Amino acid sequence: MANGCKLAWLIDPFQRKVYIYKASQKMRVHEDFETSITGEDVVPGFELPLNELDERRSVTLSFLSNLRCIT
């Protein structure tokens, strides 16, 4: 967070984890995709429902499973 960022999320929909980085705090791992993550005190009122990402993950996995390598 050396660049002055106060809050950052690294969202891994395939592992169903969100790594939450907040200035002057330890990194936290959020593993419940049935809830939302919020902007906390940095972006008050912001909420990201993780279950919406999970729905898109299913579409992505379906698309990827249908890809074929063409040589």
pLDDT at residue 22, as a whole number: 93
* Short-list 34, 59, 39, CA closest to 49: 34
pTM: predicted TM-score of the whole model, two decimal places: 0.72
pLDDT of residue 71: 40
Residue 16 has pLDDT above 60, yes or no: yes
- The residue behind tokens 């809830």 is 35
What pLDDT, in 10s, does the model give residues 19-61? 999 998 999 999 998 999 999 999 999 998 888 876 666 666 5
CA distances from 45 to 32, 36, 59, 60, 65 (A): 20, 12, 29, 29, 37
Residue written as token pair 């379906």 = 62
Beta-sheet strand order (sheet of 7-12): 7-12, 17-22, 28-30
